[in-house]
């Protein structure tokens, strides 16, 4: 991979005359690449211009222009601004776009998602199956002309909800009297059930074949999940085993696919904030942060000074409790059932108390608003935060480290078990603590500062080995850094208004697009929003950290023992609400 040159200006139009053109639409940035030249331009973007981290790939359905668009967001792991490039194709099936999987393998799941939800065929993708819905599902749900069975109106608020002041059930409007929609003349008795042959074929194809002359052994396919005590939610993993060694692995997801994007495109901007709470349900504050940052980017409004500090305080508290849970749950996965996680949950409850005091809810805080936050921190809650940050949490973090870090069993299970090296991590677009544990100091709070993180003095936690021990210890490092940020934020927080805007049910968002990203506890959480000036987002896409990080799971686990798999999966710190949306 080429060394990125920071001073280099990105002038793709000069480099590829006739093959790319600037995006002229108002509010849009970046360049449009011709479909035929996509692979060539993308290779140059990575190798010549140094954009080694492709964070997001998503489709947009411009039905009025009869265009289907694929948007790519590329960044440099050394930090700095990103590059947006896009491909537009005619909206006539089959919609085909060349796959970039050979340039950035991290696009694997995201391209599959675009295929699943938009029906964009990525030619050259070796394993283009549906990812969130099941094989055999009718239609591509995020297309603008695809209507869900409980469809009422294009956008909220639905006027049909209270016809003549009477409530009607959504079931009564659907001919099947349920959330169902079948094609015409469908006969359930003649339906042939999908036996998931594609999944098992793809497992088989990636499997290394036996060397000739060796004893012939059978491989076993084990399906873990979706109900499995160790898979951190309803994730299913099909594992192919040779004895105890993993030789192939395919995650199957979508068991918690709650149609976040589709509902988000019907919601008004404000209505959508509580839905973002339910993405990564450990960190509703961080999710709010990412979403409002993105919409504020579009609206071009400032954030009240005091609110900026409150946001940082809440986001960092959220990070601390997330990492505590991570540590507790990792111990569960390693076999020390419950005791460490009980310690972790004890501290988490104290953080949740603060969330409850400021927002009214323990988990689903719904606390951020465009331009600020919804309520000020009450004095008693501020006192609680101070007690936690200056007294209790540092002591408890030390205590946990003292209890756990040198435990012989823990060290034996974690030390030297390889997770990822830096090159693979970047290749698979892995972000967050997992990337930093491989020695890449890529933290958005430093690399591309948002909010007021540039005012604080803290170090980006980095570890060098990339083994499980480093992945585990880096969480403690991050807790300490978060505490440092919190100490400064508490000391510096000014008095003043908590919102720069007037409270309103509707916000005016000018037409255009925005890609806003924050460093969530699990990695880069980004939102891609396209506005057409109406009260609802035209395209609302979440780029979840868990989902993209999971792309690396196959290469992480190949060759390791099945007993380590559970802990390896825990390292990625996935949460299904965010993964499946």
> Is residue 258 part of the contact set for another protein (CB under 8 A)?
yes
Count of residues binding another protein (CB under 8 A)?
Answer: 62
Checking phi first, is residue 329 left (phi over 0); if not, alpha (psi -120 to 50) or beta? alpha
Let me know the angle formed at the C-alpha of 118 by 117 and 120, rounded to the nearest 5 degrees.
Answer: 125
Piece of the chain touching another protein by CB under 8 A; list 26-34, 82-90, 145-153, 526-534: 145-153
Among 181, 488, 501, 555, binds another protein (CB under 8 A): 181
CB nearer to another protein: give 89 or 256.
256
In angstroms, what is the minimal distance from the CB of 157 to another protein?
13
In angstroms, what is the minimal distance from the CB of 539 to another protein?
17
In angstroms, what is the minimal distance from the CB of 230 to another protein?
9
In angstroms, what is the minimal distance from the CB of 93 to another protein?
15
User: 338, exposed or middle or buried, with CB in 10 Å at 0-12, 13-18, 19+?
Assistant: exposed
The number of beta carbons lying within 10 Å of the beta carbon of residue 105 is: 17
Binding mask 353-392 for another protein (x = CB under 8 A): ---------xxx----------------------------
> Is residue 182 part of the contact set for another protein (CB under 8 A)?
yes
Among 180, 411, 503, 504, binds another protein (CB under 8 A): 180
> Is residue 462 part of the contact set for another protein (CB under 8 A)?
no
Contact predicate 70/59, CB 8 Å: yes
Among 96, 152, 206, 401, binds another protein (CB under 8 A): 152
Interstrand relation of 523-531 and 512-520 (parallel, antiparallel or unpaired): antiparallel
Among 167, 184, 209, 402, binds another protein (CB under 8 A): 184
Piece of the chain touching another protein by CB under 8 A; list 142-150, 385-393, 403-411, 472-480: 142-150
> Is residue 301 part of the contact set for another protein (CB under 8 A)?
no
Q: Which two tokens stand for residue 502?
A: 């007037």
In angstroms, what is the minimal distance from the CB of 145 to another protein?
14
In angstroms, what is the minimal distance from the CB of 153 to another protein?
11
Query: Which uninterrupted H or E stretch holds 538?
Result: strand 537-543
CB nearer to another protein: give 164 or 189.
189
> Is residue 266 part of the contact set for another protein (CB under 8 A)?
yes
How far from 276 is each of 233, 372, 427, CA to CA, in Å?
Answer: 18, 16, 28
Binding mask 97-126 for another protein (x = CB under 8 A): ------------------------------
> Is residue 157 part of the contact set for another protein (CB under 8 A)?
no
DSSP secondary structure code for residue 386 in this structure: H
Strand ranges for 303-423 from DSSP E: 368-369, 372-373
What is the spatial distance between Cα 347 and Cα 397, in angstroms, rounded to a whole number?
Answer: 10
Interactions with another protein, residue window 520-579 (CB under 8 A): 576-577
Binding mask 267-296 for another protein (x = CB under 8 A): -------xx--x--xx--------------
CB nearer to another protein: give 72 or 118.
118
In angstroms, what is the minimal distance from the CB of 137 to another protein?
7
The candidate with the shortest Cα–Cα distance to 516, out of 78, 41, 42, 29, is 29
> Is residue 93 part of the contact set for another protein (CB under 8 A)?
no
What is the spatial distance between Cα 53 and Cα 442, in angstroms, rounded to a whole number?
Answer: 11
In angstroms, what is the minimal distance from the CB of 511 to another protein?
26
What is the spatial distance between Cα 83 and Cα 8, in angstroms, rounded to a whole number?
Answer: 13
Among 155, 170, 417, 460, binds another protein (CB under 8 A): 170
Contact predicate 463/571, CB 8 Å: no
> Is residue 346 part of the contact set for another protein (CB under 8 A)?
yes
The candidate with the shortest Cα–Cα distance to 451, out of 581, 321, 322, 285, is 285
> Is residue 136 part of the contact set for another protein (CB under 8 A)?
yes
Query: Which uninterrupted H or E stretch holds 569?
Result: helix 562-572
Cis omega before residue 189 (within 30°)? Answer: no
What is the spatial distance between Cα 24 and Cα 193, in angstroms, rounded to a whole number?
Answer: 47
> Is residue 263 part of the contact set for another protein (CB under 8 A)?
yes
Among 18, 26, 175, 494, binds another protein (CB under 8 A): 175
In angstroms, what is the minimal distance from the CB of 348 to another protein?
8
CB nearer to another protein: give 97 or 364.
364
Among 124, 149, 439, 449, binds another protein (CB under 8 A): 149
In angstroms, what is the minimal distance from the CB of 337 to another protein?
10
Q: What is the 3-state secondary structure (H, E, C) of 287-313?
A: HHHHHHHHHHHHHCCCCCHHHHHHHHH
What is the spatial distance between Cα 251 and Cα 551, in angstroms, rounded to a whole number?
Answer: 9
Interactions with another protein, residue window 193-212 (CB under 8 A): 193-194
> Is residue 183 part of the contact set for another protein (CB under 8 A)?
yes
What is the spatial distance between Cα 101 and Cα 166, in angstroms, rounded to a whole number?
Answer: 52
Partner residues linked to 251 by β-bridges: 237
> Is residue 257 part of the contact set for another protein (CB under 8 A)?
yes
The sign of the dihedral angle between the CA atoms of 321, 409, 552, 8 is: positive
Main-chain phi, psi angles of 320, to 5 degrees? -60, -50
Among 145, 185, 408, 457, binds another protein (CB under 8 A): 185
> Is residue 159 part of the contact set for another protein (CB under 8 A)?
no
In angstroms, what is the minimal distance from the CB of 396 to another protein?
14
For residues 73-94, one letter each, b for 16 or more C-beta atoms within 10 angstroms of the residue's C-beta and e for the rest, the string is bbbbbbbeebbbbbbbbebeee
Give residue for tokens 């756990």: 404
Partner residues linked to 31 by β-bridges: 22, 85
Q: Which two tokens stand for residue 158?
A: 């639905």
Contact predicate 254/131, CB 8 Å: yes
Interactions with another protein, residue window 208-237 (CB under 8 A): 226-229, 233-234
Query: Largest alpha-carbon pair distance within the chain?
Result: 79
Binding site for another protein (CB under 8 A): 132-134, 136-138, 141, 148-152, 170-171, 175-176, 178-189, 191, 193-194, 226-229, 233-234, 254-259, 262-263, 266, 274-275, 278, 281-282, 341-342, 345-346, 348-349, 362-364, 576-577
């Amino acid at each position: 991979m080429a060394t990125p040159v920071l001073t280099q200006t990105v002038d793709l139009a000069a480099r590829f005359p006739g093959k790319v053109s600037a995006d002229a639409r108002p509010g849009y940035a970046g360049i449009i690449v011709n479909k035929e030249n996509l692979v060539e331009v993308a290779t140059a973007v990575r190798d010549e211009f140094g954009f080694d981290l492709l964070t997001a790939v998503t489709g947009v359905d411009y039905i009025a222009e009869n265009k289907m668009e694929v948007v790519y967001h590329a960044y440099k792991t050394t930090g700095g601004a990103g590059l947006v490039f896009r491909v537009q194709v005619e909206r006539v099936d089959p919609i085909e776009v060349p796959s970039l999987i050979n340039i950035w393998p991290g696009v694997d799941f995201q391209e599959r998602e675009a295929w699943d939800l938009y029906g964009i065929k990525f030619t050259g993708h070796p394993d283009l199956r549906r990812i969130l819905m099941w094989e055999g599902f009718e239609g591509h749900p995020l297309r603008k002309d695809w209507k869900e069975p409980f469809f009422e109106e294009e956008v909220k608020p639905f006027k049909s909800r209270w016809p003549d002041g009477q409530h009607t059930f959504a079931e009564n409007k659907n001919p099947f009297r349920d959330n169902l929609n079948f094609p015409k003349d469908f006969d359930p008795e003649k339906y042939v059930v999908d036996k998931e042959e594609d999944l098992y074929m793809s497992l088989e194809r990636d499997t290394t074949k036996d060397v000739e002359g060796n004893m012939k052994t059978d491989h076993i396919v084990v399906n873990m999940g979706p109900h499995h005590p160790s898979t951190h939610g309803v994730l299913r993993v099909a594992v192919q085993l040779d004895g105890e060694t993993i030789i192939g692995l395919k995650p199957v997801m979508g068991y918690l696919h709650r149609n976040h994007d589709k509902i988000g495109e019907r919601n008004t901007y404000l209505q959508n904030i509580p839905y973002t709470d339910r993405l990564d349900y450990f960190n509703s504050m961080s999710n709010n942060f990412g979403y409002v940052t993105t919409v504020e980017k579009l609206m071009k409004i400032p954030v009240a000074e005091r609110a900026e500090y409150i946001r940082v305080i809440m986001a960092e508290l959220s990070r601390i409790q997330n990492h505590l849970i991570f540590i507790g749950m990792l111990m569960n996965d390693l076999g020390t059932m419950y005791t460490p996680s009980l310690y972790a949950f004890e501290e988490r409850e104290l953080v949740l108390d603060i969330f409850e005091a400021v927002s009214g809810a323990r988990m689903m805080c719904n606390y951020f608003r465009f331009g600020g936050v919804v309520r000020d921190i009450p004095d008693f809650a501020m006192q609680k935060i101070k007690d936690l940050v200056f007294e209790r949490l540092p002591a408890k973090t030390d205590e946990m480290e003292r209890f756990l870090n040198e435990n012989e069993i823990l060290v034996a299970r974690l030390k030297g078990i390889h997770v990822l090296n830096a090159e693979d991590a970047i290749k698979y677009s892995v972000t967050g603590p997992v990337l930093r544990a491989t020695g890449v100091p890529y933290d958005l709070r430093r690399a591309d500062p948002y909010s007021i993180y540039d005012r604080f003095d803290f170090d980006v936690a980095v570890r060098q080995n990339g083994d499980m021990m480093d992945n585990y210890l880096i969480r403690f490092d991050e807790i300490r850094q978060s505490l440092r940020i919190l100490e400064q934020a508490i000391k510096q927080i000014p008095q003043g208004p908590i919102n720069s805007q007037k409270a309103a049910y509707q916000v005016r968002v000018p037409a255009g697009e925005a890609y806003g990203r924050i460093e969530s506890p699990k990695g880069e959480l980004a939102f891609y929003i396209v506005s057409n000036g109406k009260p609802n987002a035209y395209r609302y896409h979440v780029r979840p950290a868990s989902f993209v990080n999971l792309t690396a799971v196959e290469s992480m686990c190949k060759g390791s023992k099945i007993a380590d798999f559970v802990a390896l999966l825990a390292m990625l710190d996935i949460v299904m609400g965010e993964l499946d949306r």
